[in-house]
Amino acid sequence: MFSSFPRLVRTASVFATLALAPSALAEQAAYGTSYVFTTVDAVMVYSSGSNFEVTGILEGETSPRTINFRPQIGDSGAQQGFGARCDRMALLLMTRPGRFHLTVHTLASNWPTTCKLTRLP
């Protein structure tokens, strides 16, 4: 009976690590930077409705990255739901790769983050 206990603990810790992996590996978006995603593999919006993560391939790169965006918007009412609105744009890119670019631009820390979906010619 006791011999299975270490295996159970080890298995639980592996699952806990896998559950945290996307957020733990995400890099924080740098202020004053534009991130242009050519493909989007995953989008996660936090319960606050403003913080979100995008996993995808950036223009000029070949492997996917996960970037965490934390928009700083002074008006909490304007901040509510921002991630969900940007999420819709990313979902469109997920369903139609190669037809759009998603640009997420982070301004200074006290300015809002912007999301822009552009149709390719």
Q: Which domain holds residue 64?
A: 27-119
Whether the predicted pLDDT of 68 surpasses 60: yes
Mean pLDDT, all residues of the chain: 74
Q: Is 13 contained in some domain?
A: no
Q: Is 83 contained in some domain?
A: yes
Q: How many helices (H) and strands (E) does the chain have?
A: 3, 6
Q: Is 52 contained in some domain?
A: yes
Q: Is 4 contained in some domain?
A: no
pLDDT of the residue at 24 = 56
| Total tally of structural domains belonging to the chain | 1
pLDDT of the residue at 97 = 81
pLDDT tens column, 85-95? 788 888 888 88
Where residue 32 sits, what CATH number does that domain have?
2.40.50
List, as own/partner pairs, every contact residues 80-83 make where C-beta atoms lie below 8 angstroms and the sequence separation is at least 24, other chains included. Answer: 80/48, 80/49, 80/50, 81/49, 81/50, 82/49, 82/50, 82/52, 82/112, 82/113, 83/45, 83/46, 83/48, 83/49, 83/50, 83/51, 83/52
| Furthest C-alpha separation in the chain | 64
Q: Is 10 contained in some domain?
A: no
Q: Is 47 contained in some domain?
A: yes
Whether the predicted pLDDT of 10 surpasses 60: no
Q: Is 15 helix (H, G, I), strand (E, B) or coil?
A: helix
Whether the predicted pLDDT of 43 surpasses 80: yes
Q: Tokens for 41, please give them.
A: 């593999």
Q: Which residue has the higher pLDDT, 37 or 20?
A: 37
Q: Is 31 contained in some domain?
A: yes
Q: Is 17 contained in some domain?
A: no
